[in-house]
Chains A and B, each alone.
Chain A
Amino acid sequence: MSSIRCASCQSQLSDALIRQAGGSVVCPFCHRRTESLILPALYRSALNAPPPLPAAPPAEGEAACFYSPNRKATKSCDHCGVFVSDAWAAQWGTQTVCLKCLEQLRLKVKDQRFESTRTLWDNVALGLAIGPFIVAIGCICTLIGYVFAFIPLMLTLIAAPAAIFVAVRYWNAPRSIAPRGRLRLVLAIVSGLLVITGWTVSVVAIVQHWK
């Protein structure tokens, strides 16, 4: 019996039961109606096939795996060209890459097709520039915590220059995988400059007042 997970509580639901009920059942754990679209892969999973036996060493004249010389090479890496066995190859879309290349493409080269994670520096800069104000407004809105609004407002003394630094330093860094412009970086710089101007004017005004 295969099973489908409830999207809400992750409990296991029987696929046979779902098929009998026309794709919709009530989850026995969270009591919510769950609708499932069961696909052929559920019954043709790679897990259904027995794992391949350890490959026999390559015969005389046959290509050996570059990383496991006792295995027969079945593929070549589309990136570096070495011969590899099934155990050392990964299918990535239409490409076959060896596991070393895959790691390098994902973590070091940062090829967009293989990339697994990315820091959004434009959002970091914008967060530093206007984040403290949003937190301060949040504190004021809670009525009880309005006194704590002072803390994020004081933080802007450090956050505003930091926002300008991050925006300038990562001006050319890749942004989200879905392409977008530099509006956030520009906003971060403008907001940072405004905050610094505000602080400067306030300090000068206080000093003048004391004199």
Chain B
Amino acid sequence: MRKSFDDYTLLAGNYGLRGSLWKGPDHLLVVESKGFIFAYREMYRRIDYKNIQALTLTRTGRHVWWSVLLGLVLTIFTALFIYGLTTSGFDTFTWLMLGLGGVAAIPLSIHLIKGKTCVCSLQTAVLSLRLKPLKREKRARAVLADLNALCRHHQGEMPAESDMTPSVPMMPFTGVKPEWHGSKMVQWAFVLTLLWGVMFASELFVNSVPYFITGIVIALCALAIVIAGLAKAMRHRTQNGLVGLLWANLVTLLLGGLAYYGLFIAGMIMQQTKKLSSDPKATLNWIANLTLKEASWGAWPLIGLGIVTAVLALFGLIIASQRRAQAPAPVSNTPPTMES
């Protein structure tokens, strides 16, 4: 990507979906992009340095999750490499695992070198603009320091402490999402997920078709409410704990669905190999009546998933109840009574 054109110098970003920031002579050019896979549309905002009121940086914990995820991938390949090396020496499998481990190490190294994550925004009298290209603290600090120097150059010195009181109240910003502290439906989502987690964990101990079907119905209801809750959370400002637990519950519910799908495929294969009768109900009966012994090594991941789901849902229920209790009382929209 070119580092400069006309009067502009690149501060951060690229041609991708996050857009870019360009330093102009008297204004900052913010390029915002929209699209899927590639950026299909660019929007340009030109913000005069003299109008910028504040530059804000907030640290996020996203880098921790990325480190865990990428580290987990690397650990799996390393473990498989060691397993291959100890069992069969340097064969194709071992080399493949070594290669994949090496490939997995590249994004992890880049991620660790880039450092901690953050979100940055720029504030003017009428808008608060998220600076999407600034997502790493190290780079963001350098860019914000550069912008701060430019803004101060165009705005002059800070006024004296006594003059620091604007004469008009704060104007409401456009595009700021309203607060949301969860709802009764979210609490119900956690209750249903908790119930399903317990049922899923005990599935191998209870051999009953109605029990199995009830579990699926509860899981589907919980999934629908969790998705609705997340959709609402996207349109509001929500506290991180609640949204994180909703996401975690969605993931565990989907993993549960994946487990059901795997069992269903196993049942189909058994029908093909004549281990089960060709009756369509045979697969359902087989899954519902699966025992701990029959599930063999696969039993413990299923029980573990059920327990993790139940624990996460329990946490979610506690957090959701706390958030609702902390929510400010709704403002009455009834006008005050007329004084006589």
Q: Taking the nearest CB of chain B, how far is it from the CB of A89, in angstroms?
A: 15
A40, closest chain B residue (CB): B155
Indicate with 1 or 0, residue by residue over A31-53, a CB within 8 angstroms of chain B CB atoms: 11111111111111111100000
Q: Tell me the complex Cα distance, A46–B118, Å.
A: 30
Q: Chain B residues with Cβ under 8 A from A42's Cβ?
A: 53-54, 123, 166
For chain B, residues 140 to 192, give those with C-beta under 8 angstroms from any C-beta of chain A.
Answer: 144, 148, 151-152, 155-159, 163-168, 170-171, 173, 176-177, 179
For chain B, residues 96 to 135, give those with C-beta under 8 angstroms from any C-beta of chain A.
Answer: 118-121, 123-125, 128, 130
Would you call A93 and B31 a contact (CB within 8 A)?
no
Task: Using known A-B contacts A39-B152, A178-B2, determine if residue A10 contacts B53 with beta carbons closer than 8 Å.
Answer: no
Would you call A45 and B15 a contact (CB within 8 A)?
no
Would you call B165 and A1 a contact (CB within 8 A)?
yes
Chain A at the B interface: mostly helix, strand, loop or mixed? Answer: loop
A49, closest chain B residue (CB): B167
The reply to whether the CB of A63 lies closer than 8 angstroms to some CB of chain B is: no
Would you call A177 and B42 a contact (CB within 8 A)?
yes
Would you call A43 and B44 a contact (CB within 8 A)?
no
The reply to whether the CB of A124 lies closer than 8 angstroms to some CB of chain B is: yes
A12, closest chain B residue (CB): B170
The reply to whether the CB of A11 lies closer than 8 angstroms to some CB of chain B is: yes
For chain B, residues 15 to 50, give those with C-beta under 8 angstroms from any C-beta of chain A.
Answer: 15, 20, 22, 24-27, 29, 31, 35-44, 46, 50
Would you call A10 and B26 a contact (CB within 8 A)?
no
The reply to whether the CB of A6 lies closer than 8 angstroms to some CB of chain B is: yes
Q: Chain A residues with Cβ under 8 A from B148's Cβ?
A: 37, 39
The reply to whether the CB of B237 lies closer than 8 angstroms to some CB of chain A is: yes
The reply to whether the CB of A94 lies closer than 8 angstroms to some CB of chain B is: yes
Pick from A35, A36, A117, A124: contact of B43, CB under 8 Å: A117
Total interface residues on A, CB under 8 Å, equals 57
The reply to whether the CB of A5 lies closer than 8 angstroms to some CB of chain B is: yes
Q: Tell me the complex Cα distance, A207–B335, Å.
A: 78
Q: Tell me the complex Cα distance, A116–B24, Å.
A: 16
Q: Tell me the complex Cα distance, A35–B118, Å.
A: 11
Would you call A45 and B125 a contact (CB within 8 A)?
yes
Task: Using known A-B contacts A10-B176, A39-B148, determine if residue A117 contacts B41 with beta carbons closer than 8 Å.
Answer: yes
The reply to whether the CB of B55 lies closer than 8 angstroms to some CB of chain A is: yes
A10, closest chain B residue (CB): B176
B53, closest chain A residue (CB): A42
Interface core residue of B24, B26, B38, B130 (most chain A CB under 10 Å) = B38
Q: Taking the nearest CB of chain B, how far is it from the CB of A200, in angstroms?
A: 26
Q: Tell me the complex Cα distance, A44–B156, Å.
A: 11
Would you call B168 and A123 a contact (CB within 8 A)?
no
Pick from A39, A127, A177: contact of B37, CB under 8 Å: A127
Would you call A4 and B123 a contact (CB within 8 A)?
yes
Q: Taking the nearest CB of chain B, how far is it from the CB of A14, in angstroms?
A: 11
The reply to whether the CB of A7 lies closer than 8 angstroms to some CB of chain B is: yes
Q: Taking the nearest CB of chain B, how far is it from the CB of A98, in angstroms?
A: 18
Task: Using known A-B contacts A7-B130, A34-B58, A47-B168, determine if residue A39 contacts B5 with beta carbons closer than 8 Å.
Answer: no
Q: Tell me the complex Cα distance, A31–B26, Å.
A: 35
The reply to whether the CB of A164 lies closer than 8 angstroms to some CB of chain B is: no
B262, closest chain A residue (CB): A144
Task: Using known A-B contacts A116-B44, A120-B41, A179-B5, determine if residue A39 contacts B55 with beta carbons closer than 8 Å.
Answer: yes
Q: Chain A residues with Cβ under 8 A from B25's Cβ?
A: 93
Q: Tell me the complex Cα distance, A7–B146, Å.
A: 18
The reply to whether the CB of B261 lies closer than 8 angstroms to some CB of chain A is: yes
Would you call A123 and B176 a contact (CB within 8 A)?
no
Would you call B164 and A43 a contact (CB within 8 A)?
yes
Indicate with 1 or 0, residue by residue over B205-241, a CB within 8 angstroms of chain A CB atoms: 0000000000000000000000000000000010110
A35-B58, A44-B159, A144-B261 given; 11 more Cβ-contact pairs under 8 Å: A5-B176, A12-B170, A29-B237, A36-B57, A41-B151, A45-B125, A46-B125, A123-B38, A124-B38, A127-B35, A144-B258
Across the A-B interface, give the 9 residue pairs with the lowest CB-CB distance, nearest first: A7-B121, A42-B53, A7-B58, A123-B38, A8-B58, A5-B128, A7-B56, A37-B55, A40-B155
Complex A-B: 25 CB contacts under 8 Å: A1-B165, A4-B56, A6-B58, A8-B58, A11-B237, A16-B164, A34-B56, A34-B58, A35-B57, A36-B54, A41-B151, A43-B164, A43-B165, A45-B53, A48-B166, A93-B25, A93-B46, A119-B40, A120-B38, A124-B40, A126-B38, A134-B37, A176-B31, A177-B44, A178-B20
